[in-house]
Structure 1
Amino acid sequence: MSPSAVSPHSAIAARMSAHCAPAASSLPLRSSPSSSASGTISASFPASPSPGSSRKSASRSASSSPLSAISGGGGAPLFRRRTAMQRLGGLLLPLIGSGGAAGPAVARSKVSEAEEVLRKAEWPQQFPFSAEDFKRYDETPDTVFYSMPRFVTHIDDAAIRALTQFYKDNLPPPNTPGVSVLDMCSSWISHYPKGYKQERVVGMGLNEDELARNDVLTEYLVQDLNANTKLPFPDNTFDAITNAVSVDYLSRPLEVFQEMHRVLKPGGLAVMSFSNRCFWTKAIQIWTSTGDIDHILIVGSYFHYAGGYEPPQARDISPNPGRTDPMYVVFSRKLEA
């Protein structure tokens, strides 16, 4: 399948802000951005599945979007859902781009926007998303989908290094007495710094074979958070909670974030990281129909509306914008008692 080109036209993104594509194999798919001397960005996508009710949210107008209700200074919407799609030769291409600025300048702009979006957010009184936003193309039990182990990494090496460095800079130092860490939606690797150890590091995931291979964990349990959001831990148990590239699969995120708050110690840190890769059929609709920066706002809203957290913050830790996988982190701390 030959790639189709999209010309950048906005300073928001230096490249395709790739939406999750349907997975054709056991690996999560991503767009394959590449830049030319002319500044044109190319990305190849597999043919889309037949349209159905699960994609209805992608046809909503920007003005009716829950994201457009969250506005910044002057009352102008910070983000509008990137739902304008164009079919070209069987491909679905998001109609976005950048202003053609040079790479380093664009990278700084992306970082600035990623960090500023949550600072400028004006949250509506009520949670702005509907039940439809959390539907998925494949609603079969997640325990079935993840029953076969996948000993793969879902982001590239550069993104992994960036995430590991963020963990190194922000998680409790290794071997700190009394520290407990929970890695939610865990797998065979957690991307923690090499040799990272605490008295207790708990992994929670959907495949026991994968969890058993994760040598950073002191214990693990298998639990489907979309079927059972209750975390089986006492109040004020963990100093930190991490979730790497899996927040986009949560269909009951407010319940999960409320449970995270319950089991975090006062001042405890919660770190949600994500890229532009996913198992498309299992990601929620609001995620698959929006772009990278929008995702920051979505995850930030989970912290805000769950209650009891400090104002969420975001970082664009993408190591090589336009050349390797993007990487974003949204994080917050449980308010002190």
Structure 2
Amino acid sequence: MKISMIMCHQAQPSLLQIPTGGMDLSVLRCRPQKEKVVVVMGATGTGKSRLSIDLAARYPAEIINSDKMQVYEGLDIVTNKITDEECDGIPHHLLGIVDPEADFTAGNFVSTASITMKSIVGRGKLPIIAGGSNSFIEALVDDQNYEFRSRYEVCFLWVDVAMPVLHRFVSDRVDRMVAAGIVEEVRKIYNPKADYSKGIRRAIGVPEFDAYFRTEYSSYVDKKTQAKLLEEAINETKINTCKLACRQLEKIHRLRNVKGWKIHRLDATPVFQQRGREAEESWTEMVAGPGSVIVNQFLYNFGHSRGFATVADGGGRAIKRGAAMAAAAI
């Protein structure tokens, strides 16, 4: 994809032209401007990917995945990877790039994401980090060497859904995953000697099916028992997914209330309580719209003059940024 950019630089008067009256000119020196980063957080199934794409469609942006299971290659249904169609042409990074047998740690994420952010910024775009692995995000933002905080200003968006509502949704989502072929997908990588504490096999929806698959290697288990084990595996996947959502929510509360992160909460509960057009309207009203307002204020309302007038991709699409975008209606 070819990118053409026109940089907007506001003309500044020379310090030699400013009457100083004996004033110390050092007070006029500006601190180096930090780059901007947006982080979209939330429990599994709340719509983080959707919001990140909505935002990336409004600004010249690229998305960095921060889900520790989605970084692995394979098991697209199990890990609920976003599809090419859902990406809507927005570049995504750290998605399906790691060997499924390898261990991708928080340290690996920090180093890889840091390089990716630098590359995105170098292309004049906004990095948007989206994913449910809050341990990865915390390791990146609060690194021991303070590198992230010294280079970047960050805006945290939290897509929240009331737990009872979310639990019903993730339960239904597991049923949809079963219909989409999750059992066949996991069967392809099944190994009775596999270590479920490493690599992609740690993903919820893999170890839960171990007992069921073991019966396929046994001639002593009847079809009724197999069916029961399959049902138990599906139910366990639902339970463990709900437990994951609770842990993710607890971690966000800790980052917000204990560590003092300024995290903007967007309540998406009404979206999950509706269907069709009403749900779409609620998403715009409750999540996408307010999220865009927050990001707009973050990017443009603090006196930064650096901006991009026009960014055009190979398809001819133009996205206007800068002062005009700051004044645009959401």
TM-score (norm 2): 0.30
User: Of the two, which has the highest radius of gyration?
Assistant: 2
Higher helix share: 2
Q: Which has the higher contact order (CA 8 A, sep 6+)?
A: 2
